[in-house]
Amino acid sequence: MRPIAYMGNQYSSSIEATDSTKRPSFPPIPPIPVIPPQHRNAPITPLETRPFNGTFSPEITIPAQILTGDQAIYNINYDSQISIYYSPTAQFRTIYCATCQLTYLIGLTGPYGAECHPSHGAYCNTYGVVAKSVIIHVHGECRIVEGKQRAAVGIYFGAGSKYNVIERCEHLWNDPISCSRVQLHAILGALEAMGHRAQPDRIGQVISALGENGKHVEQMHPLRIIIVMENHGDAINGVCYKLPELILDYSKLEMHDDDGVEDKNGDVYMRIRLELEKLAQPPYRMQVVYREVDAKDNIAARKMVDMALDSAG
- The 10s digit of each residue's pLDDT in 19-57 is 333 333 333 333 333 333 333 333 333 333 334 455 555
What's the pLDDT score for residue 39? Answer: 34
Distance between CA 138 and CA 55 in Å, rounded?
A: 18
Type and span of the H or E element at 150: strand 148-156
* Average pLDDT score, the chain: 67
> DSSP of 213-274, one letter per residue?
-HHHHHTT-SEEEEEEE---HHHHHIIIIIHHHSEEETTTTEEE-TT-PBPTTHHHHHHHHH
Residue 64 binned pLDDT confidence (cut-offs 50, 70, 90): very low
Residue 252 binned pLDDT confidence (cut-offs 50, 70, 90): low
Query: How does strand 223-229 pair with strand 287-292?
Result: parallel
Distance between CA 58 and CA 68 in Å, rounded?
A: 18
**203 Cβ neighbours under 8 A, 6+ residues apart:** 217, 220
Amino acid occupying residue 142: C
**291 Cβ neighbours under 8 A, 6+ residues apart:** 59, 65, 66, 226, 227, 228, 229
Distance between CA 31 and CA 240 in Å, rounded?
A: 33
Angle in degrees, 0-180, between the axes of helices 266-280 and 179-192, rounded to the nearest 10: 20
DSSP state of 71: T
Percent helix, strand, coil in the chain, to 5, is 30, 25, 50
Rounded to the nearest 10°, the torsion over CA 309, 311, 312, 313 is 140
255 pLDDT more than 90: no
Q: Is the dihedral of CA 237, 238, 239, 245 positive or negative?
A: positive
The set of long-range contacts for 256-261, using a CB threshold of 8 Å and a minimum separation of 24, is: none
**Residues 168-191: pLDDT tens digits?**
877 666 666 788 889 999 999 999
Give the range among 8-17, 150-159, 196-205, 232-241 with minimum mean pLDDT. 8-17
Q: Which of 62-71, 109-118, 167-176, 230-239 has the highest mean pLDDT?
A: 230-239
- Phi, psi values for residue 26, rounded to 5°: -110, 110
Q: Of how many residues is the chain composed? A: 313
66 pLDDT more than 60: no
Better-scored residue on pLDDT, 78 or 252:
252
Distance between CA 7 and CA 198 in Å, rounded?
A: 18
Question: Closest Cα partner for 287 from 277, 272, 295, 296?
Answer: 277
Give the range among 105-114, 144-153, 235-244, 280-289 with minimum mean pLDDT. 105-114
Distances (CA, A) of 98 to 95, 117, 161, 162, 312: 10, 10, 8, 10, 31
